Amino acid sequence: MYSLRGERWLGPYLLPILTAVRDTVAFFFVTMLSIAAATHAYVILGPRSGDTYPVYSAFTHTIRLAMFGDFDLFEYQGQDTVFGQNASVWEPIDPEPTELDVKTYIYLQGLFFGTGIFVQVLLLNLLTGILGNNYDKQLERNEVLFVQARARMLLEQQRRPWAQIGRLWDWLLRHPTHEPTESVGPQSDGSPREDFKALDTYWWWCPLVAVWALVPLRFVLAPPVDTTDLPDAARLFKRLTTRLVYTPVVNRPYLAPFFLLLSPFMLVFSLTIFLAFFTILLVALVLKVFLGIQVHGIHYILNLTVFGLFGDRWASECGIWVFVRPVDGELEDKMDDVLKQLKELRECLPKAEASGSTCESQGPSSPPGKPK
């Protein structure tokens, strides 16, 4: 469940709960110390010293009283209820306090009431208020928590071992002598393809086999007809082959034979993706024909999740822009005035409805030196 914290439908509601509970760690520490102290006192008094595990027995009796409010006073005092026969009916006979030592009885009673009042009544009721207050505070900043959680998830993904394969691929895409270009998008694909054509025949016929092995992906990248949502299939396929085949071979020509060896695996990969895509299309067609449900964005989802293509750009070529507008003091004062007026109207409306009068609210306060 925690791995779903980055999902929009769950994260903004789950994260305030987890954060509110995390903020009560210090309170739980104090509570557990109090329970440990009560358990220690119970062990010293030794009403259950005859049990097989006296320390654990003392802990269970204390935790039942302090946390769950479940207790049996006679059992807590180490006295077991016996049954006596009255005529033909067996009735319980409560143990007498005189069966215990006077000091032990007094100490046990004091420990019982002290643990019950301090932990069960005071601390646990205080915990309810603290949790509610913390949850309200964290719920107000749920969007901040949600964005932070997504950022941490991205960082975790980058630190995983299999994510390091991306560094190897970046090394293949980087020319050993040329400076990295700042151009992004489809216009950056022209140079590698032109350089590839200038290679010797020995170097370029091996990668061409790999390119042909990727042909089934052309039907997955975009529909065969032109649409306004996605670039045409030829353009996307050109971007894919440039990144996967042409650029690594141009930068390091000695890798060309490896693409010939990898071409069967690339063909299997392409056919697998194509069959999965064809299956999804059949399911979408059935939903549309029999249930009237129309599915959109299949190409977009596959391009983004499988190939990392956002439109006609790779994810590494995309950027995120954040626009922040600071709130000046005057605007903040106006917002406070509006909230104050809303509060006054909320308090006035019930009285006005009962008396048949109207509510009047003062206008927003003007900046110093200016009339209202």
Residue 371 backbone dihedrals phi, psi, to 5 degrees = -70, 160
- What is the pTM (predicted TM-score) of this model? 0.50
Sorted by where each begins, the domain ranges of the chain are 2-155, 174-317
pLDDT confidence bin for 328, thresholds 50/70/90:
low
| Calpha distance 170→155 (Å, rounded) | 18
Q: CA 130 from chain center: how many Å?
A: 23
The per-residue pLDDT for range 205-253, each reduced to its tens digit, is 888 888 899 888 888 887 765 555 556 777 888 888 888 888 888 877 8
3-state secondary structure 266-328: HHHHHHHHHHHHHHHHHHHHHHHHHHCCCCCCHHHHHHHHHHCEECCEEHHHCCCCCCCCCCC
Helices (H), the chain: 11-22, 25-45, 54-63, 73-76, 102-115, 124-140, 142-159, 165-173, 190-197, 201-213, 218-221, 233-241, 247-251, 256-286, 298-302, 329-355
Mean pLDDT of 269-273: 90
Question: In DSSP terms, which residues pair with 82 in a beta bridge?
Answer: 93
Classified as helix, coil or strand, 175 is coil
Rounded distance between C-alpha atoms, residue 277 and residue 281, angstroms = 6
Q: If you average pLDDT over residues 57-62, what whole number do you get?
A: 92
**Rg of the chain, C-alpha, whole Å:** 36
As a whole number of angstroms, the distance between CA 372 and CA 51 comes to: 80
The span from the CA of 199 to the CA of 251, in Å, is 11
Lowest mean pLDDT segment, chosen from 45-49, 103-107, 198-202, 336-340: 198-202
Is the separation of the CB atoms in 107 and 40 below 8 Å? no
Average pLDDT, the chain: 79
Greatest CA span in the chain, whole angstroms? 112
CA dist 47 and 86 (Å) reads 29
For residues 283 and 312, the model is more confident at 283
Q: What is the pLDDT of residues 139-190, one digit of tens each?
A: 999 988 988 888 888 777 777 776 666 666 666 556 555 554 444 445 555 5
User: Within 13 Å of residue 307, how many CA atoms lie on the same side as its CB?
Assistant: 27
Length of the chain: 372
